[in-house]
Structure 1
Amino acid sequence: MADAGIISYNVASFICALFVLEFGADKFVDHTAVVADRTGIPEAVIGLLTAGAEWEELAVAISCMLQNRPSLAIGNIVGSGISNILGAFSLGLIFRNQEELITFDASAKTYTLILFLLTLLFTGLVQWDSLDQTRTIGVILIVVFVVYVASVAYLIVKGRLTAPESDSDSESEGESIDSEDDEEEVTSISRAQVNSTTPLLEAQQELSIVRQHKHSTSYHVASLVFGFLAIVLSSFVLSSAASTIADQTGLSDVLFGVVFLSIATTLPEKFVAVVSGSRNRTGILVANAVGSNIFLLSLCMGVLWVGTAGTVDNDTINIAELGVLVGSTLFMALTVWFGARWSRVAGMVMLIGYLAFLVLEFTTIRHG
């Protein structure tokens, strides 16, 4: 019988861990960008690894794996993939600026095509009967991720694709400008935009110039490590609380991961989608969804399969959930390639489909 006290405690732990997780992810991304800038790493590569990169999801997957709950991890990965498209991308289309005609450039179409092909590969590997080869499958997916990063970075450098906006995981452009840790960006803005004619503005401009050299590279490296440790700690608490709640309520790990954990861990993506859609920033909107899913289905799933060889079987994910993942990815690709004119209607269809999927997950797909 469920213990109300245990459930309440773990729900509170779950919510608190979410805040720490997002804090750690923001710190990790922001300071990684600063360190990369100071060490000469191309900004395009940093943009690729921060726009839609689900480092927190990877930490959650590893934490679940270490606690011998791979079903919770794969449920979260598949559920997050569905939520990123039907729950986040759809909101961006619904809340887009009606006064401007939405368009998707060549890079957006390329990213969606890559994701669709990867989703088909992932689905085929999941349905492969040779479970003793799951470690090999995991290695294949990790290699796919490495090739993806290397090839897209090369194309970005060559100017054939548009680099993803590096602020998509920071929740908004304004937040990255106002961030205390983004000294260089603040300095450039103050120099370009503040033509001071008053002592107050002059003082603010001088202060921003001084702040440019306030923190050393070692400070940013330490902050990067601190953010990473926050991700690891919160991920352990998150997965542990999710496992306890699932046990106490009688829900399966996959059901809890697909529905509750995936919704919670993709809240930042939904916020970014609404903001980018309202500003008609289609590059951010697509990179947010597509980049996240490529990261989930290649690196996160690859690491999970390598670490839990032989434990991912038919009891962890079923054909209906995989069908929703493939169908939603195909629908998004068709919208980006051919349906820009009807994007708002497409967004509504996606959102209604997501709500229907959640209902069916409880009543039919995972019923009993």
Structure 2
Amino acid sequence: MDWDILFFNTAALIAGVFVLDYGADKFIDHTVIVGQRLGISPTLIALLTAGAEYEELAVVIAAILQGRTPLALGNVMGSAISNILGAFSLGLVCYPGGDPFDSSAKIYSALQFFVTTLFVILAYFEQLNRVTGGLLIALFALYIISIGYAIYRGISELPQLSDSESDDESTDVCAEQTLGQSAGPPALETSPLLGDTGKKLRRPLYHHVLQLIFGLLALSLSGYILAHSAGTIADSLHLSGTVFGLTVIAFATTLPEKLIAMLSGFRGQGGIIVATTAGSNIFLLTLCVGIVAVAGKHLDGSDTFVLFDLVTVWVSSVSLLAVVFLGPHRIAGLVLLAAYVVFLVMEFTVYRR
């Protein structure tokens, strides 16, 4: 064992966690602000941004180029399971209230259930080939178009400012004018208060969009760092390739979703919790699986899939759908989290191959 490589990648893993924390914090705060400014549900914005599993796509493409299709599919299935049982469950545990999820969350959680069911059927009957892979990629394109249309409709139908919003804008303008007029006189006892007023001015929309993008880039970078460092550590410890894809890489590449879910839960943003989970799984089971099917040979289910994994993917999807429609509860989060621990134990013991 090369201890230098092991220690270096352990340090990289720790650094990646800090980048992850920074990116998640930026992303959540500014996603909510952008959604409020444009009159769009933060769920839709999160679906289009955090729901895009760029680091997973990078892992899949790298595995295909190396001829390791089972590793790619194992990573996809493991990530789909981890997103629900590992990330969504943490969001539920941290969610303070029982407010129901919005309509966008319900629509896209139902869509992810449909996509998951389609994937499980194709995988079980060994029908993942170039034709079905092309259909999955086309389905992903329709999914992106639907989100884009929903966002466009939200912007185009954005009403003029309500009274309260107009008051906020007027207050901002007045504050700015007051600050400018009071810049000349000598400092008085109230000077610190005038200084605080400037800090309350609303920043322009493009500032929050840029901060959102920076947060997303930090999340993608952290996912890349975590996936590669965890992968090297796992290789150093001589873990099985398939178990490695289903557990270690899947866990590492979904750490951004886990942290986003936790922070969103603490801040009461239930829509973002669902969006990152549903959007990520739709991305994984349409685009990523579609690319594997199109680029690779006909996939033999007996060599690639274990029924336990497929059943776990589908049951996880059903659990997400049920919680979204029935309402969030911390007990449900604890149950899902316990199920994830059982899944990991089973993978490393009973189903290790």
Q: Deviations over 1:197-217 (max 9, x none)?
A: 9555656776998x96999x9
C-alpha distance in structure 2 between counterparts of 1:348 and 1:105, whole Å: 22
Q: Does 2:319 align with 1:349?
A: no
Change (3 A) 1:30 1:70: farther
| Higher CA-based Rg | 2
Q: Which residue of 1 aligns with 2:99?
A: 102
**Sequence identity percentage:** 42
1:257 CA drift (Å)? 2.1
CA 1:51–1:248 in 2, change beyond 3 Å: closer, same or farther? closer
Q: Which amino acid aligns with 2:172?
A: R
**TM-score scaled by structure 2?**
0.72
Is 2:266 the partner of 1:269?
no
The question of 1:149 aligning with 2:137 is answered: no
Which of 137, 149, 154 aligns to 2:132? It is 137
Query: Offset at 1:326?
Result: 0.5
- CA distance, structure 2, for counterparts of residue 275 and residue 29 of structure 1: 8
Aligned-pair distance for 1:20?
Answer: 6.1
- The number of residue pairs the alignment matches comes to 323
Which residue does 2:123 correspond to in 1? Answer: 126
Where do 1:165-244 residues align within 5 Å? Answer: 191=172, 199=191, 235=224, 241-244=229-232
The answer on whether the counterparts of 1:92 and 1:275 sit within 8 Å (CA) in structure 2 is yes
Name the CA distance, whole Å, in 1 between partners of 2:173 and 2:88: 34
What is the letter of the counterpart of residue 56 of structure 1? Answer: E
Q: Distance in 2 between matches of 1:233 and 1:352?
A: 26
The structure-2 alpha-carbon separation of the partners of 1:63 and 1:103, relative to structure 1 and needing over 3 Å to count, comes to same
Q: Which amino acid aligns with 2:93?
A: I
Aligned in 2, Cα 1:79/1:214: closer, same or farther, shift over 3 Å?
Answer: closer
Whether the aligned pair in 1 keeps the contact of 2:25 and 2:263 (CA below 8 Å) is no
Please list, as runs of the form range in 1=range in 2, the aligned pairs for 1:54-93 lying within 5 A after superposition.
Answer: 54-93=53-92
Q: Which moved more, 1:193-202 or 1:138-147?
A: 193-202
Unmatched segments (≥5 aa) in structure 2? 32-37, 155-168, 180-188
Contact 1:79 1:258 in 2 (8 A): yes
Unaligned segments of structure 1, at least 5 residues: 33-39, 160-187
For the structure 1 residues 318 and 106, does the alpha-carbon distance in structure 2 shift closer, same or farther, using more than 3 Å as the test?
Answer: same
Distance 1:315 1:267 in 2: 28
* 1:177 aligned residue: none
Structure 1, residues 44-99: CA drift from partner, whole Å, max 9, x if none? 875541142222222232233334433333222211111111111112222222xx
Q: How far apart, in 1, do the equivalents of 2:219 and 2:333 lie?
A: 34
Report the RMSD for the aligned CA atoms in angstroms. 4.5
**2:325, 2:213 → 1: CA distance?**
38
